[in-house]
Amino acid sequence: MDISLIIPCYNESTNIQKGVLDKIGNFVKDDQRFTEVLIIDDGSTDESKAVIKEDYIPKFPKFRLIENKHKGKAFAVIKGIKESKAKYVMFSDIDLATPIEESKKLIKELNNDYRIVIGSRNAQRKGAPFLRKVMARGLIAVRKLFIGLWGIKDTQCGFKAFERKTALQIIEKLQVFYPDRMVKGSSVSTGFDLEFLFIAQRLNVPIKEVPVTWRHVETKNVNFITDSFEALRDLVKIRTHDLLGNYK
């Protein structure tokens, strides 16, 4: 098995100072299954890129920094999938809310021939602020109403793994996250996970959901109002494209 690990990055100097990249680098350096770590910078305006170039690329040979125009987390992940070289791709949020050691659970299911494996957080979201819990529960209810995704409890955990070939097939069918889509400010791209998994189910790709450890990490990149509005808008778009037959 060979895996490309994708780490989206947007103004993450605070998390980098906490040593998250050291944890990732030390975890993968002697694990031959991880052939590369692609840090996809989403047009950061802080010192994130400089620190990665100066302090981490020389330190960890598996690290590769790819600079992307600012288009949100979704396009950072898409860029990573397209640039990856391994048979499998895994992506993790840089804050390591789900510890990188949990990757063994996803790898186990990839070895069981699942082509998409997604991490699932505890339903209680222990430690998360009240508004984040409201946002999560509201999204589940609206998601079921608009596009279903029955059988999947947690679509938004930032810890997923795919067979690269399958992921590329799904990306080609994206309608809401088209190449020219633009964003302003931070965007967690909630709708990307929804559209990706929606298309996967339409293609009858088996999806395995596995419980993973998760702890809340406070981040400025999540905004309750704007992210909720963006997610609702994207759900409406997914439903519209589906009714128009654009996912056939």
For the stretch 147-191, pLDDT in tens is: 989 889 999 999 999 999 999 999 999 999 988 787 777 777 789
The two three-digit tokens of residue 119, written as one number:
């991490």
Looking at the structure of the chain, the number of domains it has is 1
Which residue shows structure tokens 């799904």? 170
| DSSP helix/strand/coil, 236 | helix
User: Is residue 63 in a domain?
Assistant: yes
pLDDT at residue 10 greater than cutoff 70: yes
pLDDT bracket for residue 127 (50, 70, 90): low
Query: Taking a C-beta distance cutoff of 8 angstroms, is the pair 27, 60 a contact?
Result: no
- Averaged confidence pLDDT in the chain: 91
pLDDT at residue 221 greater than cutoff 90: no
Which residues on neighbouring strands pair with residue 6, listed in sequence order? 38, 91
User: Is residue 144 in a domain?
Assistant: yes
Rounded to 5°, angle at Cα 90 from 162 and 130: 105
Sheet of 88-92, strands arranged across: 63-68, 34-42, 3-9, 88-92, 159-163, 116-120, 207-211
- Phi-psi bin for 146: left (phi > 0), alpha (psi -120 to 50), beta? alpha
Write the CATH number for 59: 3.90.550.10
User: Is residue 109 in a domain?
Assistant: yes
Percent share of the chain, pLDDT over 90: 75
Query: Taking a C-beta distance cutoff of 8 angstroms, is the pair 116, 208 a contact?
Result: yes
User: Is residue 237 in a domain?
Assistant: yes
d(CA 131, CA 231): 15
Q: According to the model, what pLDDT value does residue 126 have? A: 65
Q: Which among 41, 91, 35, 34 is positioned nearest to 66, based on CA atoms?
A: 41
Helix (H) or strand (E) holding 120: strand 116-120
User: Is residue 89 in a domain?
Assistant: yes
User: Is residue 248 in a domain?
Assistant: no
User: Is residue 167 in a domain?
Assistant: yes
Instruction: State pLDDT tens for residues 93-115.
Output: 999 999 999 999 999 999 999 99
Range with lowest mean pLDDT among 15-24, 178-187, 197-206? 178-187
Which residue shows structure tokens 């984040």? 132
Q: According to the model, what pLDDT value does residue 224 have? A: 64
Q: Which domain holds residue 162?
A: 3-243
Query: Taking a C-beta distance cutoff of 8 angstroms, is the pair 119, 160 a contact?
Result: yes
Q: According to the model, what pLDDT value does residue 58 have? A: 97
Instruction: State pLDDT tens for residues 43-61.
Output: 999 999 999 999 999 999 9
User: Is residue 227 in a domain?
Assistant: yes
Whether the model clears a pTM of 0.85, i.e. scores above it, the answer is yes
d(CA 234, CA 220): 22
Q: According to the model, what pLDDT value does residue 219 have? A: 64
**167 against 137, higher pLDDT:** 167
Query: Taking a C-beta distance cutoff of 8 angstroms, is the pair 175, 142 a contact?
Result: no
